[in-house]
Amino acid sequence: MSAAATVLPSMDPAAAEELAREAAAWCALHGLVVGDRADPRSGTVPGVGLVHAPFSLLPAHLPEPIWRQACELAPIFNDLVDRVSLDGNFLQESLSKTKQVDDFTSRLLEIHRKMMEINKEENIRLGLFRSDYMLDSETSSLLQIELNTISASFPGLGCLVSELHRTLISQYGYLSSLEHKRVPENAASSQFAEALARAWAEFNVDSAVVMMIVQPEERNMYDQYWLTKHMQESYGVTTIRKTLSQVEAVGQVLPDGTLLVDGKKVAVVYYRAGYAPNDYPSEAEWRARLLIEQSSAVKCPSISYHLVGTKKIQQELAKPNVLERFVEDKEEIVKLRKCFAGLWSLDDEEIVKTAIEKPELFVLKPQREGGGNNIYGLELRETLIRLQKEGGDALAAYILMQRIFPKASPAYLVRGGICHEGLVISELGIYGAYLRNKDKVVINDQCGYLMRTKVSSSDEGGVAAGFAVLDSLYLTDK
């Protein structure tokens, strides 16, 4: 049974429509909402132009042993990110070719190099991560797609979908073949909020705030506001929201390293923007990123954590004998390697030749986050041929990855109040939180999950980018 095998009791279209209406009403009542793209103010003014987040009507099947495997990997990956982040030379060397051809990675590395030159230490290190997987139908193996170390989205809305599915299963008789307890509870938003609040407490300045870095237009702001709500209500921690350009305009770093924004001391900077080139439309945003990095505030993520999440580092870690540089426990190395898909750099001529001959077996990935960037099929072949002709370092901007083939199954998807049936595949994201103060590990936990489901004919998988819907899990025995 695949991660995409979706629970689908026999339901006629009329029953599905009725259930979708009830589910959409539940979304409105419980804050499972996003900004409506049709309303120009929906990305800037809270409470204006809301629609329910796109969702799957019923949860996706996942064998319980696979679920446990994914959860066990979270603290191992958390620790791995921290260890790799401390090896500045490894990050600089691994990305040295990429920076020649990718300006965005080059700018990040430049900030990182400046921090290395002044021997900047991050005593309090906070990571909120999400590791994404698919279950390969050929091998029944759980394979990692990527590890997100910056702006891991949907902890707020993802756990609401689990609650929605548990509620629907409990309340509707024609779903009586399902058990609501088989949908795992999902506390991602409260656990992320707890990690941010604990980092604030370690910083130990009562008057300080948590600053969330956001995009100027953010239709996914409610996902973020759930964390703000939990921090305020459970821990009394105040959050301010700023764009990078606003930080550049009103921020300053005092001689003792304190970051002041609008005259407020900032304890923790939590990035929900800054992961893509279009988040830096001018030099002002880059100046803000450098200013924050130079400060004593806790960064989530620091520049080094951010770089560990690049596709190139993922590919480097999959090389023989590289994990051993960072992980001592042999059992953990085996667990990590077991979930690694095939990953190659484009200086491997044999694999490039194979990918040109059989492009359907590969994905070509640039150093980008946020969905909508990967290259498949004939376009992959054409891109590889073009890159080979260009020669030089152009190939270094990409990595090749084994294409994973999850099993497609029928499901009902609801977007904009319209319910439609389609063949779908799903992607499992496992959240992790890691907090360290010098030698003391304060938090190293798995923190809930995100399930995203998309029509099987779509190659891309981002919900915010418009390709997928939010989903939850239904655990099966095998």
Q: What is the pLDDT of residues 220-242, one digit of tens each?
A: 999 999 999 999 999 999 999 99
Distance CA 434, CA 199 (A): 10
User: Does this model's pTM top 0.85?
Assistant: yes
With contact defined as beta carbons under 8 Å apart, do 400 and 363 qualify? yes
Per DSSP bridges, beta strands 469-471 and 473-476 are: unpaired
Task: Examine the residue annotation and report whether 182 is marked as an active-site residue of this protein.
Answer: no
Active-site pick, 107, 114, 287, 370: 370
Q: b/e map of 286-306 (b: 16 or more CB within 10 Å)?
A: bbbbbbbbbbbbbbbbbbbbb
- Domain map (residue ranges) of the chain: 13-341+404-476, 342-403
With contact defined as beta carbons under 8 Å apart, do 313 and 367 qualify? no
Distance CA 270, CA 20 (A): 35
What confidence score (pLDDT) does residue 74 get? 98
- In the predicted model, residues of the chain with pLDDT beneath 50 are 1-7, 461
What confidence score (pLDDT) does residue 458 get? 62
Active-site pick, 2, 42, 146, 381: 146
Task: Examine the residue annotation and report whether 365 is marked as an active-site residue of this protein.
Answer: yes
Active-site pick, 42, 148, 374, 472: 148
What confidence score (pLDDT) does residue 396 get? 79
What confidence score (pLDDT) does residue 138 get? 86
Per DSSP, what are the bridge partners of residue 61? 474
Task: Examine the residue annotation and report whether 119 is marked as an active-site residue of this protein.
Answer: no
What confidence score (pLDDT) does residue 4 get? 41
What confidence score (pLDDT) does residue 368 get? 65
Report DSSP state, residue 332: H
Task: Examine the residue annotation and report whether 146 is marked as an active-site residue of this protein.
Answer: yes
Per DSSP bridges, beta strands 209-213 and 264-271 are: parallel
133, with CB counted inside 10 A (0-12, 13-18, 19+), is: buried
Per DSSP bridges, beta strands 124-136 and 473-476 are: unpaired
Task: Examine the residue annotation and report whether 311 is marked as an active-site residue of this protein.
Answer: yes
Active-site pick, 131, 153, 304, 345: 153
> What amino acid occupies position 91?
L
CA-based nearest residue to 34, from 55, 20, 16: 55
What confidence score (pLDDT) does residue 5 get? 42
Distance CA 145, CA 140 (A): 15
Task: Examine the residue annotation and report whether 263 is marked as an active-site residue of this protein.
Answer: no
CA-based nearest residue to 410, from 425, 422, 426: 422
Task: Examine the residue annotation and report whether 370 is marked as an active-site residue of this protein.
Answer: yes
Distance CA 365, CA 383 (A): 11
Active-site pick, 97, 241, 242, 365: 365
What confidence score (pLDDT) does residue 427 get? 95
Distance CA 224, CA 155 (A): 8
Question: CB 219: neighbour CB atoms within 10 A?
Answer: 20
Q: How far lies 312's CA from each of 113, 268, 309, 462, in Å?
A: 18, 28, 8, 20
> Is residue 221 within a helix (H) or strand (E), and if so which, with residue range?
helix 221-235
What confidence score (pLDDT) does residue 333 get? 98
What confidence score (pLDDT) does residue 371 get? 59
Contact partners, residue 51, CB within 8 Å, separation at least 6? 33, 34, 35, 36, 416, 417
3.30.460.30, 3.30.1490.50, 3.30.70.360, 3.30.565.10: CATH of 342-403: 3.30.1490.50
Task: Examine the residue annotation and report whether 153 is marked as an active-site residue of this protein.
Answer: yes
> Is residue 231 within a helix (H) or strand (E), and if so which, with residue range?
helix 221-235
Active-site pick, 194, 293, 316, 369: 369
* Distance from the Cα of residue 464 to its chain's centroid: 11
What confidence score (pLDDT) does residue 460 get? 53
Task: Examine the residue annotation and report whether 321 is marked as an active-site residue of this protein.
Answer: no
Q: Tokens 């026999």 appear where?
A: 10
In the chain, count H helices and then E strands. 15, 20
With contact defined as beta carbons under 8 Å apart, do 227 and 156 qualify? yes
Distance CA 160, CA 155 (A): 9
Distance CA 32, CA 416 (A): 13
Active-site pick, 182, 312, 403, 452: 452
Look up residue 170 and give its two tokens: 């409990």
Active-site pick, 130, 166, 182, 454: 130
What confidence score (pLDDT) does residue 478 get? 76
3-state secondary structure of 191: helix
Relative orientation angle of helices 103-117 and 283-294, to the nearest 10 degrees: 30
